[in-house]
C-alpha cells in the first residue's frame, strides 16, 4: 500500500510543485488585479487549490499519453506508468477523482466561470498529444497555463475583458519560453523517440527565439499596466523581470549544463512572483 501511495504521489508530482506555482501565477495576477488587490478568501482558496488539482490532472494526462515514450527518455523512464508501478486503470481512476474535485471547485463560482472551465479542460487535454504532431507543443502548454487568468477575472467581475486576455497572451509566450528551456534537457532523447519540441525546432537559434518570446511577454505585461492604470511599482517589477529574463538568455547563449537548465526553468516561479508583487503593491501602496 505504501508503495502504491508513493507511486500516486510521483504521478501527480507532489514533491515538484514548481509546475503548480507556474500555473498559479497568471491566475493570481488576474485575480488580484480584478479584486483591486484584495481577493476574497473563497476565490483565493478556489484558485490556489484549483491550480494544484488541475496541474496534478495535467500531469496524469501527460503521463498517460506519453507512457510509451517515457520509458526511452532518461529523465522520465522511472515515472509510475512506464516503470509499471501503476497501470492505466490506476491512472484513469486518479484522473477521474482529480477532475471531480476540480468540478466541485468550479461549481462554487459563477456561471461564466463554469462555462470557461470547459475550455481549460480541453486545453489541458490537448497539450500532451501536441508533442506528436506539432513543432510548437510549448505554445499549447502556454494556453493551458494562461487560461486561469481569464477564469479568475470572470469569477470576480462576471465578465471577460482585455486585461485577463492579455495575461493569457503573455503567459502563452512566457510559458513557451520557459518550457523551451525545460525541453533543452531532453532534446537528444526527444529526437531519438520522435517527440517534437521548440528546443528542437529552434536549434542553434534557441537563444534568439527566447529573446523574442520574452520581449513579447514583457511588452504585453506593460500593456496591461497601461490600460489598467498600474504605476511605478508595477513598472519596476517588470523591469526586474526583464533583466532576469535577458540574463537567462545570456546564460543559454554561453552554454548551460542540464542542472543549470533546470535551475533556470525553476527560477521562472520567481518571475511570476515578482510580477504578482508588483501588481499588489502598486494597487495597495502606489
Residues 264/265/270/272 CA torsion (nearest 10 deg): 140
- Burial label for 161, CB within 10 Å (0-12, 13-18, 19+), is middle
The distance of Cα 124 from the centroid of its chain, to the nearest Å, equals 10
- Whether pLDDT at 10 is above 70: yes
Q: 170: closest CA among 59, 18, 275?
A: 275
Residues sharing a CB contact under 8 Å with residue 85, sequence separation 6 or more, in sequence order: 3, 4, 7, 10
Q: Rounded to whole angstroms, how far apart are CA atoms 107 and 186?
A: 39
> pLDDT (tens digit, 9 = 90+) per residue, 101-157?
999 999 999 999 999 999 999 999 999 888 888 889 999 999 999 999 999 999 999
- Cα first-last separation, the chain: 53
Residue 277 above 90 pLDDT? Answer: yes
Residue (of 247, 243, 239, 286) closest to 264 by Cα position: 247
* Helix segments in 158-197, DSSP class H: 162-184, 187-193
**Measured between alpha carbons, how far is 242 from 203 in angstroms, rounded to an integer?**
23
pLDDT of residue 103: 96
Copy the grid coordinates of residue 198.
521548440
Question: Structure pTM?
Answer: 0.95
The residue written with cell numbers 510549448 in the block is 138
Neighbouring C-beta atoms of residue 279, cutoff 10 Å: 26
Cα–Cα distance, 68 to 82 (Å, whole number): 7
Residue 222: half-sphere exposure toward Cβ, Cα within 13 Å: 13
pLDDT tens for each residue of 212-233: 999 999 999 999 999 999 999 9
Burial class for 246, CB neighbours closer than 10 Å (0-12, 13-18, 19+): middle
Sign of CA dihedral 212, 245, 273, 235: negative
Summarised one tens digit per residue, pLDDT across range 15-50 is 999 999 999 999 999 999 999 999 999 999 999 999
Of 2.60.40.10, 3.40.50.1100, 1.10.357.140, 3.40.50.970, the CATH number of 2-284 is 1.10.357.140
Amino acid at each position: 500500500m505504501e508503495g502504491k501511495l508513493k507511486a500516486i504521489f510521483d504521478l501527480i508530482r507532489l514533491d515538484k510543485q514548481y509546475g503548480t506555482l507556474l500555473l498559479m501565477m497568471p491566475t493570481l495576477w488576474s485575480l488580484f488585479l480584478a479584486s483591486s488587490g484584495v481577493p476574497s478568501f473563497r476565490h483565493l482558496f478556489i484558485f490556489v487549490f484549483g491550480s494544484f488539482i488541475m496541474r496534478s490532472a495535467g500531469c496524469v494526462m501527460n503521463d498517460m499519453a506519453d507512457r510509451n515514450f517515457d520509458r526511452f527518455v532518461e529523465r522520465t523512464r522511472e515515472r509510475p506508468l512506464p516503470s509499471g508501478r501503476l497501470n492505466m486503470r490506476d491512472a484513469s481512476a486518479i484522473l477521474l477523482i482529480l477532475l471531480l474535485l476540480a468540478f466541485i471547485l468550479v461549481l462554487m463560482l459563477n456561471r461564466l466561470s463554469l462555462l470557461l472551465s470547459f475550455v481549460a479542460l480541453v486545453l489541458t487535454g490537448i497539450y500532451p498529444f501536441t508533442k506528436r504532431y506539432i513543432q510548437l507543443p510549448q505554445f499549447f502548454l502556454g494556453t493551458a497555463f494562461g487560461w486561469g487568468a481569464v477564469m479568475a477575472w470572470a469569477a470576480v467581475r462576471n465578465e471577460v475583458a482585455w486585461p485577463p486576455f492579455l495575461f493569457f497572451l503573455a503567459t502563452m509566450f512566457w510559458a513557451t519560453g520557459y518550457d523551451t528551456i525545460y525541453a533543452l534537457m531532453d532534446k537528444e532523447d526527444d529526437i531519438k523517440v520522435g517527440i517534437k519540441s521548440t528546443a528542437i525546432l529552434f536549434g542553434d537559434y534557441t537563444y534568439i527565439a527566447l529573446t523574442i518570446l520574452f520581449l513579447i511577454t514583457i511588452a504585453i505585461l506593460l500593456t496591461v499596466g497601461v490600460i489598467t492604470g498600474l504605476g511605478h511599482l508595477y513598472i519596476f517589477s517588470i523591469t526586474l523581470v526583464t533583466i532576469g529574463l535577458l540574463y537567462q538568455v545570456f546564460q543559454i547563449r554561453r552554454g548551460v549544463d542540464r542542472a543549470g537548465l533546470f535551475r533556470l526553468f525553476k527560477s521562472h516561479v520567481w518571475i511570476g512572483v515578482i510580477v504578482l508583487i508588483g501588481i499588489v503593491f502598486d494597487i495597495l501602496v502606489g
